[in-house]
Amino acid sequence: MKPVGVLTWLPGGIQQPAYEQQTLLVHSMTADLEHAQACGGHAECGTCRVRLVSGTLTPMGHEEAELMRDHPGAFRSGERLGCQARPLGDAVIEVPSDEVPDLRDA
């Protein structure tokens, strides 16, 4: 795999190569970041959400868009699901420091 850029994780500023073939959740796990996920990457719970500070990610897929549409008040501007979004180049990503509720319980 050839990197498409560099991911910078906030808080902390950890950097790692960005691979389009891997989701942000996989990237964060390989960087040993504390990143919640409760549904195994199926875009069902919303616990793995991240906020894109700068850069470009893959377009939102059907499952991710549907979860956000079903829970409009749960997502802030710029948030994406780490289990679905993939980097397309350099990106700065923030992992929420507060606990994110499982939307399957809502």
Per residue in 37-70, pLDDT (tens digit) is: 999 899 999 999 999 999 999 999 999 999 999 9
Confidence grade of residue 99 (pLDDT, cut at 50, 70, 90): confident
Confidence grade of residue 34 (pLDDT, cut at 50, 70, 90): confident
Domains of the chain: 5-105 (3.10.20.30)
Between 72 and 7, the higher pLDDT residue: 7
CA distances from 51 to 1, 26, 55, 95, 96 (A): 25, 16, 11, 7, 8
- In this model, does residue 13 exceed pLDDT 90? yes
Q: What is the pTM of this model?
A: 0.93
